[in-house]
Amino acid sequence: MTIADRTVLVTGANRGIGQALVEEALRRGAKRVYAGTRQPLAHVDGRVTPLILDVTNAEQIQEAVERVESLDILINNAGLALYDDLSDRAAIEQSLAVNLFGPYGVTQAFLPLLTRSRGTIVNVLSVVAFAPLPIVPAYSISKAAALSLSQSLRALLAGQGVRVHAVLAGPVDTDMSRGFDVPKASPESVARAIFDGVEKGEEDIFPDPMSESMAESWRSGAAKALERQFVALVEAEPVKSA
Ligand SMILES: NC(=O)c1ccc[n+]([C@@H]2O[C@H](COP(=O)([O-])OP(=O)(O)OC[C@H]3O[C@@H](n4cnc5c(N)ncnc54)[C@H](OP(=O)(O)O)[C@@H]3O)[C@@H](O)[C@H]2O)c1
């Protein structure tokens, strides 16, 4: 999969990693970049088509689908991180609404276009999917759930030629991590690493120095082996109805 001449859709495209993904897709010669944002966006490059797209809004998702003629790469990047302590159920519900049901809803809606193009889905997740960061436990729950969603979609869509990549990012220097005082990668370097990973066909992408340090142990570890074992099991013996 190369980015040149492809059609790409990025959610949360107005700032942070999403904005960097739009610029990097253009730099790599994308034919069209749909920039999904909650507020109207203007872009100097004529290849960018803005779409009003709150990923929790089913009507806006449907309207976006109707405006997109074809799609090769869907990047579910939009995300929300709240500081919480698990005392408020609403924080978990809000995190799941944006970070789990957001990518779920957008993916389901664009699936006909993606299966037609034998396209690619990129879900921007976080290393907190592996182990919770207890200052953002609701966010961590939602990213762990979104990793599981990505793994199941990967298995379920492989037969239709659709690839699913999970991006397990460490800290990135954006508004989201402003209150978190640790070394951070630039959004531009992360965007480059995400597209490099997609072009190389890496199913799990570790796009920054912090996450990169765990890539090898993840790829050769017990959880990954079990993911493959379960896929093989289902391929060998498809689910029988009761
Ligand atoms: N920054 C990090 O350290 C880090 C690390 C690992 C993973 N990530 C992940 O990377 C992705 C991008 O985050 P970021 O760091 O670029 O954060 P950011 O600067 O806070 O940007 C978040 C983006 O998501 C959009 N968004 C939030 N809720 C939305 C909704 N309901 N519908 C549509 N768009 C929505 C925001 O739009 P508005 O401007 O309208 O709010 C904004 O464009 C997220 O999935 C995040 O979890 C970030």
Report d(CA 180, CA 177) in Å as an integer: 5
State which ligand 1 atom lies nearest to the alpha carbon of 125: 7
pTM listed for this prediction: 0.97
Structural domains of the chain sorted by starting position, each given as residue range(s) with its CATH number in brackets: 7-214 (3.40.50.720)
Tell me the per-residue pLDDT of 127-180, one tens digit each, with 9 for 90 and over. 999 999 999 999 999 999 999 999 999 999 999 999 999 999 999 999 999 989
Cβ atoms 174, 16 nearer than 8 A: yes
How are the residues of the chain apportioned to helix, strand and coil, as percentages rounded to the nearest 5? Answer: 50, 15, 35
**Is the Cβ–Cβ distance between 139 and 82 less than 8 Å?**
yes
| 17 alpha carbon – ligand 1 mean position (Å) | 7
The answer on pLDDT for 242 being more than 80 is no
240 is an active site residue: no
Q: Catalytic: 139?
A: yes
Q: What is the pLDDT of residues 82-134, one digit of tens each?
A: 999 999 999 999 999 999 999 999 999 999 999 999 999 999 999 999 999 99
The pLDDT of residue 1 is: 83
- What spacing in Å lies between the alpha carbon of 55 and ligand 1's midpoint? 11
- Secondary structure (3-state) at 99: helix
The atom of ligand 1 lying closest to the CA of 98 is 31
Instruction: Report the side by side order of strands in the sheet with 7-11.
Output: 48-52, 32-37, 7-11, 73-76, 120-126, 163-169, 204-205
How is residue 144 written in tokens? 């762990």
User: What pLDDT digit, counting tens, does each position of 195-238 carry?
Assistant: 999 999 999 999 999 999 999 999 999 999 999 999 998 888 76
Average pLDDT over residues 44-72: 98
Q: How much is the pLDDT for 240?
A: 65
Mean pLDDT of the chain: 96
pLDDT at 53 over 90: yes
Quote the pLDDT of residue 188: 98
pLDDT at 234: 83
Q: Does the pLDDT value for residue 239 go beyond 80?
A: no
User: What is the whole-number distance in angstroms between the Cα of residue 141 and the centre of ligand 1?
Assistant: 16
Provide the percentage of residues in the chain whose pLDDT is more than 70: 98
Interval 21-34 mean pLDDT: 98
Tell me the β-bridge partners of 163: 120
